[in-house]
Chains A and B, each alone.
Chain A
Amino acid sequence: MTRRVVVTGAGCVSALGNTVPEFWAACLAGRSGIAQIDGFDRTGIRFQNGAQARGFDASQHFDGKQLIPLDRFAQLAIVAAREALAHSQLELTDDERARAAIVTGSCYGGKTSEDAGFVALYRDAQPRVHPLTIPRLMANAAASALTLELGWQGPVWTVSTACSSANHAIGQAYWLVRHGLADVALTGGSEAPFTYGSLKAWEALRVVSPDTCRPFSLGRNGMILGEGAGMLVLEPLDRARARGAKILAEIIGFGMGADAHHLTQPSAAGAARALRLALADANLPPEAIGVINAHGTGTAANDIAESAAIREVFAAGLHNLKVTATKSLHGHALGASGALEAVATVLGLQHQCVVPTANFQEFDPDCDVPLCIERQLWPHEAAVSNSFAFGGLNAVLVFRRAGPNSALMLNPTD
């Protein structure tokens, strides 16, 4: 059984705001959420800027007792999931809940809780840590908390593949629904990486920019860490139509693979392979793609390798293509990045426009891609969203427009 799979709900929390409308308004305006990191002492950290979800106040979303078992990364996921579900107006029967899937991504899991425990033990010489440290820090804590909130009992798991986590999660949820293993899926990713220990670890890796994220631009000098969560509701096209749901976009392809090349240096060949696999899964030629939401971290190495991969795979269709790198806006939210970028990609298809890449300075001949740096109306039927993780793990999603003139609506009996 193979079914067409559509997105009927989206939710997100990020440096760009606590809801999809806030996120989208900032995206369209090219208004970056990157600013000085606050919330703790940054003494001795070489970089000062990040993309924190500053406007997120957990007490507005959870009562005190609910918060006890929830690390910040789980709080962010739950709030994004609530928005996506409300947006989709999904109502499930008991039988449907028994099969409904949740697939989430996170690189770190409950890092904030783990860090707090270590501070208590190692710095403050406390004899004990919080008894819920383990259930807070487990990478599946967000997915498990969502099962408790929603009563969903189908396939539920969490993927941890560094910066590709959310794309791997969304891709697997898509395949679950496509092949009839679940009728509804909630999927995305969440991350809350702002702890002193985590920032020091990023500092030591020497990939974080001292000022801002400038993907594909000459003068780029690293990534900017971000936090947040993005969630999508997926269901079969027939089901969405039958209940009169608003269809935001269709997911039509997913490709994944490993570079088997280097722990941290990206490989253009590996990225190109994942792109080709995703296009093959979508049964689309490269010329059919109008927009790529690039991995675009703003590091010297990623942007060169990704540009080479894009030029290789889309050689014949480059004139049809716009590339955007929204990490310049919402930062690199690691395991949540793919989910935030999926939301931006879906909304771009819906509104037939490209989100501008912020902070661009000057063309870099090593990054010769058709980069969008100003908001632009751009008719496109299909879009790709790239994630290429440390460890050489690549995951690419392909989305198609759902609109009055799209192929989706012209072939209503597919």
Chain B
Amino acid sequence: MSESVSPAVLERVLRTLADTQKLPLEQVTPDATFEQLNIDSLDGINILFALENEFDINIPDESARLVRDVRQLAAGVQKLIDAKPAPAA
């Protein structure tokens, strides 16, 4: 899953995470775990909210619960973007 994340999506996920957590962008790496970034459950729902707005997606509770690190998060976002119906021409 994680291999299929586009660089553009990954970059936007990292930026959203950094913005939401008030962290310097360079600290939010694809390999960081939420624990390393000090992300607790409340931070988690703030991040999901920001990502839903950033990408215009809906992240289901069930899949959100399983995510533990930045790479999984980006992969999940990519999956939801790919599943979106193509915009009307």
Contacts and interface: CB of A to CB of B under 8 A. Distances in A.
B40 A262 contact: yes
Contacts, number: 24
Interface stretch (A203-211, A274-282, A286-294): A203-211
Interface residues of B, number: 11
Contact of A265 (B40, B61, B62, B64): B40
A377 interface: no
Given A204-B49, A206-B48, A46 B41 contact: no
A204 B58 CA distance: 11
B51 to A, nearest CB: 13
A301 B41 contact: yes
Contacts of A301: 41
Nearest to B58: A46
Contacts of A262: 40, 42
Interface string A239-275: 0000000000000000000000011110000000000
A46 B61 contact: yes
Interface residues of A, number: 12
Interface string B5-40: 000000000000000000000000000000000001
Interface in A186-215: 204-206, 210
Given A46-B61, A206-B61, A210-B61, A264 B41 contact: yes
Given A46-B60, A46-B61, A210-B61, A205 B40 contact: no
A93 B42 CA distance: 52
B42 A264 contact: yes
B9 to A, nearest CB: 22
Interface in A172-196: none
Contacts of B48: 206
Interface of A: 46, 204-206, 210, 221-222, 262-265, 301
Interface of B: 40-42, 45, 48-49, 58, 60-62, 64
